[in-house]
Chain A
Amino acid sequence: MTNAAISPRILDAEGKLCGADPELDKGLLRELFVHMMRVRCVDQRMLKLQRAGRVGFVGSMLGLEAAMIGSAAALEGRDWMWSGLREGGAALMRGLPLSEYIAQMYCNSNDTAKGRQMCNHLQHAASHYPSWSSVIGTQITHGVGAALAAKRRGLDEVHAVYFGDGATSSNGFHSGLNFAAVWKVRCVFLCVDNGWAISVPSKAQTAAPYVDKGKAYGMLAHEVDGNDVLATYQATKSLVERARAESEPALLVLKTYRMLGHSSSDDPSLYRDQAEVDEWAARDPIKRYAGYLTGLGVLGAGEQEEIEAKLLEEIDDEIRTQEAADPMALKTLVEDVYAEVPRHLRRQYNAFIEVAERHGEARPGDGAFPL
């Protein structure tokens, strides 16, 4: 595949082909749709749980389904995905079990991160998906360093590094893209440009198009319609294959829109017009793609509703399971700070547990460390 294969748009707002037909296998076309639907259903349920006070924080993925699924589907299992706040749905596609996703939202004892991060900081080591850290842009240089390590170790890995438009102002963006271009590592940088960094619009974020910043560092850079799953998939695939073959980084800007607030704690009506939101609602990635699949005969009448009902049932079942899980053991307060719990932390914990036991807060297994 050559770079000429990158079309900024393949489907128009109604889901009609307006670019070169990617001629993808119908099975894959349908799979992408189900993954996008799963993102939407998980998002819907998590927002509900948040409103009910069951989970603390949700960074909604509504409107971003095509951007995350189209791009992540272009990666191989051995590739890495360095995520930001809103890529959790793609982690599910890459292999993060739904149970772990929901456990992380509950921060309960099934959470592989042991309840230490606030909600929406998903990770899945088996599919090479480290969590982001809340500090914007710090994962960008990590992806570059990991790509250099892969190169040194002779591993055929591409590192897909995700971040939002706001992160293009961070230190990590500039040093990350610069280092990657100088070192010629297999990194594809995915700037999910959803127009808003909390309440700051792109015009207050940058005076130059985001895509120009990649070019300035000496790498190939493209922008595509991030609400068009086919254009996103094709462009990412092209740049990932190029990175793999030529060991050259690239920047891909996915132009999309965050339909809801920054998080469940944000009120976007304070800073943006409903007219803009309505305009983007008309470009909804799922509606658009469903139109295309219906025309192709991949999606029959009523099938979208069936898929949705099945996904929601799976999610609801898992929510019930995770609701019942235990909170984290008290000992995890001081574990995983170092490979071994050092003596000063054992002492601090032991002093604490003595008080906790007196107040009846400790449970079996919470007992003191040997000193």
Chain B
Amino acid sequence: MANLTLLQALNDGMKTAMRQDDSVVLFGEDVGLRGGVFLTTEGIQQEFGSERCFDTPLSEDGIVGAAIGMAMNGLRPIAEIQFQDFIFPGFDQIVSEAAKLRYRSGSQYTCPLVIRTPYGGGIRGGLYHSQSGEAYFCHTAGLKVVIPSTPHDAKGLLIASIEDPDPVLFLEPKALYRSVKGEVPEGHYTVDLTTIREVRPGKDVTVFCYGAMVPIAAKAAEQAAEKGIEVNVLDLRTLLPLDEDGVLEYAKRTGRVVVVHEAPRFCGFGGEISAIIAENAIEYMEAPIARVTGFDTPFPNTLEHHYLPDDRRVLDAIEHVHAF
């Protein structure tokens, strides 16, 4: 065990996978000598050489397209997109090609690749370094969408994603890169891509969240506990395919649900969680489902701390559904 930041755990995960399997290659903008703009890939080119860790020309369309070709011809590519905000030139390749290749070829061709990209606010990055675009991708059959929130999960989920036979969009909460630390096992292990993690048990209110919202929700739950409300906090981890059974089971336990994400509300992932519960477990609900989310606006700059859900807004929602 080592006590690592989330960023160090990701770095360790990539190195572990690359030591394990020669076909794993890592590339993107500035990931080589520079080690990435956040230093997530620090030391990887030094250890594995520029054949396996290399910089690309500045084209997200090219990065994702080439990654697909590599995956079709025997490699296990990890493509880094520097910020999730810059992924859209590669969107066509992700949704039209990577996600559909297995289906349209009847599994004659497959696409085992990982696209890693930092997402989310909290770094004063303004509207092009802060977005949470998970909903765009969760609408795409054939993709897997994974978001870790702890160093342990970051490494285990990343290795599982690299070893997965299908394309995975791996969204890294950049606000947590260096702000969370935790015990991380050495060497190879995986965290499976099908289950929800229970962050905190509680019998009164259920909070579903993921990524950088997990510590926010946990903090709100602590404050709620001081007021006598026991909150069950769940980290969804894999948004697509979602553990729907898990969502329903946890929702039924309390009958009072809050969903938290920093992405805009309209057509956001919280809408899907609410709909799944409404369709399958409405008779268990004691209160309307509450969503605590970013605004339906572009991501702000100076006012980002008001845009992002914080512990006070989450606590307010918890109290609201609890008192209903």
Contacts and interface: CB of A to CB of B under 8 A. Distances in A.
Contact of A123 (B59, B105, B165, B242): B105
B110 interface: yes
A344 B56 CA distance: 37
A229 B245 CA distance: 60
B91 to A, nearest CB: 11
A210 to B, nearest CB: 19
B104 A116 contact: yes
B166 to A, nearest CB: 5
A130 B64 CA distance: 17
A176 B57 contact: no
Interface string A135-156: 1001011111111111011000
Contact of B141 (A114, A131, A143, A337): A337
Contacts of A144: 62, 65-66, 69
B25 interface: yes
A148 B66 contact: yes
A265 interface: no
Given A141-B66, A144-B69, A148-B69, A171 B61 contact: yes
A344 B141 CA distance: 11
Interface of B: 23, 25, 51-52, 56-57, 59, 61-62, 64-75, 77, 89, 92-93, 96-97, 100, 102-110, 141-142, 144, 165-166, 241-242, 244-245
Contact of B59 (A113, A135, A152, A175): A175
B96 A147 contact: no
A125 interface: yes
Contacts, number: 143
Given A152-B25, A152-B51, A141 B68 contact: yes
B244 A130 contact: no
Q: Is the interface of A mostly helix, strand, loop or mixed?
A: helix
Q: Report which residue of B68, B77, B108 has the largest number of chain A beta carbons within 10 angstroms of its beta carbon.
A: B108
A178 B71 CA distance: 20
B244 A138 contact: no
A277 B108 CA distance: 39
Contact of B73 (A114, A146, A171): A146
A280 to B, nearest CB: 33
Q: Report which residue of A114, A140, A141, A148 has the largest number of chain B beta carbons within 10 angstroms of its beta carbon.
A: A141
A80 B92 CA distance: 23
Contact of B102 (A143, A171, A174, A336): A336
Nearest to A145: B69
Nearest to A116: B104
Given A112-B108, A130-B105, A175 B61 contact: yes
B70 A148 contact: yes
B110 A339 contact: yes
Given A141-B68, A144-B65, A176-B65, A149 B106 contact: no
13 contacts: A113-B104, A116-B103, A116-B106, A121-B104, A123-B108, A138-B96, A144-B69, A174-B59, A176-B62, A179-B56, A336-B105, A339-B166, A343-B244
Contacts of B70: 145-146, 148-149
The 7 closest A-B pairs by CB, nearest first: A141-B65, A145-B69, A175-B62, A145-B66, A142-B69, A146-B69, A149-B73
A336 B97 contact: no
A343 B96 contact: no
A135 B106 contact: no
B75 A142 contact: no
A130 B65 CA distance: 14
